[in-house]
Chain A
Amino acid sequence: MRRWLASLRRGLLLAVVAGYSLFPLYFITVQSLKTPEEDVFGSPFYVLRPTFENYTELFAGAAARVRGFVIVPRVPFLLWVMNSALVLALTLALTLGSGVLAAWALGRLRPPGWRWWRRALFATYVVPHTILFIPLYQVVLALGLDDHHGALILLYAAMALPFVVWLLSAYFRHLPREIEEAALIEGASPVTAFLRIVLPMSRNVLVAAGLFTVGTVGNDFMLASVFLLDPDKQTVAAGLGVMDVSLEELVAVAGVNVAAVPVALACALFARTYVEGLTAAMVEGA
């Protein structure tokens, strides 16, 4: 009887946690499925006559036009999605590439002062990039990346790297040396041993670092909206932010869902690997 009660309590708690986590997403989705009439007169918690109008509107076209009594602003949503994907992919490549190299140096080769180097890299996480606009903009101008995706890619990589390097170097530190030494004795070069033995073994922790980077990129709104001004170059976050809120509220909410679902699905797919990767880096301390 007591066991039964305990498991009931646990089940209830789990249900509460799931409900709390999912409610805002449910709420967004309900709103995005509404017609303007139901938005005004209906209940916010459910939708009686769902419509996909807000979603199709996103892809309706890139030219401004009249719909009903309002002029619908130009929403090149497909372009925004493609821009976001491009920025995300290049940021991932840059972050993981430079992160793995630095983490190998700090976790395995350990040059003198490696501990302080690792701490210094991590400490940069403290400085919020979002308050350094003016000088950051000077750097972006000096690099010739004004209104260019490259500016965002560099900034995002710099924002994700402190944690990524920390995580990967913690993992490499605990990886038994015997593994690559065996390959070295077989006659492989250090580079081959790293690429063929160590990297495939580190799959989980690389996924964890990658997902963290995705989270960093996905979380930014401020930098994207400041550094990308041309509507054709904007990412989804920057684009939705400048949409005329009062007129096209529901379309923008639908846009949120369209942009977020693929990312969330990819994350869900790798969620287990993400935890395993973090765990692998955490065994025997951070």
Chain B
Amino acid sequence: MTVPAACATDTGSRSGAVLRAAAPGARRARRREVLAAYGLLAPASLLVLGLLAYPVLWEGWISTTSLSAQGGAPTFVGLANYRRMAADPFFWRATLTTIVYFAATTGAKLVLGLAMALLLARPARGRALVFLAVFLPWAYPGGVTVVAWYWMLNPPLITSYSLAVGQLKHAVDAVLGPGAYAFASVALFNVWRGASFTAIFLLAALNAIPTELFEYAQLETRSPWLRLRHVTLPLLKPFLALAVFLSFTSAFADLANVWMLTGGRIVFPVLGTYAYWLGVRRGELAQAAAWSLALVPVLLAALLVLFRWFDPPEERQA
């Protein structure tokens, strides 16, 4: 986009914009504005991109070498680490688990969150209190609740309660396979916290949609399902997409938290935590780098799709 073009769209909604844009003084002012904009962008961009660019590039470079804590000068090995990773059956199992975990938690968070948001959007007695209750799981700091949550599901001491939980754990693992209970306990924690965030987020989105649209829909059909499918969901689409995206990142963070808390005792193979284990515990830095980066292109592709929904390319004229 060139400067004059930006200038034109920018001032398009203002009265007398054409006149002002044509004047040389306005153009100089615009140039100053653009410079100021870059200046204002600098701190945040430095923080976000600066803190991230080096680590990502480093991992990218390392993943093509033979660097390892066992010593030896690293040599360039091309894509050998990636080939080794792809040949590892563990990698594909970990990828599958990661996808199932993301899909299951995100689906549950969206359904639960949407249901709670729709429930809270209509006036009812006691709504204010329930609203606060829904807000609390997210507001209660997850970094510390994870401690309590984990001990609730995996009690460390032998008590009457831990015996009951132990039986439950064996029952679940017997039906769904080993590790299923651990998987479910992390997923539950993430859904409990994440659905709270999604509910509040979608509630805000529902508030942002003009009520007339819902009133028209009320005239069109009496079926609440049809209204949900043809009116509410399409209107919410950008926000649902945004919620999906935010859900991905929180799903990973919660998993990492539990994993770290238990000192890696919860082991169902997931890409990120296995990468950490490879790198920090076993010192196979190059292999770990390949594992760490395996997910990033997939997430970026997902993001590009989601951008189409919540940030459409054509400029909306205000």
Indicate which residue in A21, A101, A219 contacts B41 across the interface (CB closer than 8 Å). A101
Say yes or no: B279 contacts A133, CB within 8 Å: yes
Stretch with Cβ within 8 A of B (4 or more), from A50-58, A59-67, A278-286: A278-286
Supposing A40-B157, A40-B160, A268-B132 touch, asked if A112 and B48 sit within 8 A by C-beta, the answer is no
Indicate which residue in A18, A43, A110, A245 contacts B37 across the interface (CB closer than 8 Å). A110
What residues on A are CB-neighbors of B248 within 8 Å? 126
Q: Is B119 an interface residue (CB 8 A)?
A: yes
CB 8 Å contact bits of A234-269 with B (1 = contact, 0 = none):
001100110001100100110110011001100110
Say yes or no: B279 contacts A99, CB within 8 Å: no
Q: Is B140 an interface residue (CB 8 A)?
A: yes
Supposing A249-B156, A282-B239 touch, asked if A155 and B51 sit within 8 A by C-beta, the answer is yes
B284 nearest CB across to chain A (Å): 11
CB 8 Å contact bits of B192-232 with A (1 = contact, 0 = none):
11001100110111011000000000000000000000000
Supposing A126-B303, A219-B143 touch, asked if A139 and B43 sit within 8 A by C-beta, the answer is no
B303 nearest CB across to chain A (Å): 6
Nearest A residue (CB) for B6: A112
Q: Tell me whether chain B's interface is mostly helix, strand or loop, or mixed.
A: helix
Interface residues of B in 240-289 (CB under 8 A from A): 242, 245-246, 248-250, 252-254, 256-257, 259-261, 272, 275-276, 279-280, 285, 288
What residues on A are CB-neighbors of B285 within 8 Å? 134
Interface residues of A in 114-146 (CB under 8 A from B): 114-115, 117-121, 123-136, 138-139
What residues on B are CB-neighbors of A92 within 8 Å? none
Interface size of A as a range: 35 or more
Indicate which residue in A104, A131, A275 contacts B292 across the interface (CB closer than 8 Å). A131
Q: Is B36 an interface residue (CB 8 A)?
A: yes
Say yes or no: A111 contacts B239, CB within 8 Å: no
Supposing A133-B276, A136-B55, A263-B141 touch, asked if A286 and B238 sit within 8 A by C-beta, the answer is yes
Cα separation A252 to B164 with both chains bound (whole Å): 22
What residues on A are CB-neighbors of B19 within 8 Å? none
What residues on A are CB-neighbors of B43 within 8 Å? 97-98, 101-102
CB 8 Å contact bits of A141-156 with B (1 = contact, 0 = none):
0000000000000110
Cα separation A215 to B45 with both chains bound (whole Å): 21
Q: Tell me whether chain A's interface is mostly helix, strand or loop, or mixed.
A: helix
Interface residues of B in 131-177 (CB under 8 A from A): 131-149, 151-152, 155-161, 164
Say yes or no: B204 contacts A132, CB within 8 Å: no
A176 nearest CB across to chain B (Å): 9
CB 8 Å contact bits of A87-100 with B (1 = contact, 0 = none):
00000001001110
Closest 9 CB pairs of A and B: A218-B141, A267-B139, A278-B204, A135-B55, A102-B44, A237-B143, A109-B37, A219-B142, A44-B161
| Chain A residues within 8 Å of B, Cβ to Cβ | 7, 10-11, 13-15, 17-18, 21-22, 24-25, 27-28, 31, 39-44, 94, 97-99, 101-102, 104-106, 109-115, 117-121, 123-136, 138-139, 154-155, 157-158, 161-163, 165, 174, 177, 211, 215, 217-222, 224-226, 236-237, 240-241, 245-246, 249, 252-253, 255-256, 259-260, 263-264, 267-268, 271, 274-276, 278-280, 282-286
Besides A21-B196, A41-B159, A221-B144, 5 other A-B contacts (C-beta < 8 A): A102-B45, A112-B6, A132-B59, A161-B48, A252-B151
| Chain B residues within 8 Å of A, Cβ to Cβ | 1-3, 6, 10, 13-14, 33-34, 36-41, 43-45, 47-49, 51-52, 54-56, 58-59, 116, 119, 122, 124-127, 129-149, 151-152, 155-161, 164, 192-193, 196-197, 200-201, 203-205, 207-208, 238-239, 242, 245-246, 248-250, 252-254, 256-257, 259-261, 272, 275-276, 279-280, 285, 288, 292, 295-296, 299-300, 303, 307, 310-311, 313, 316, 318
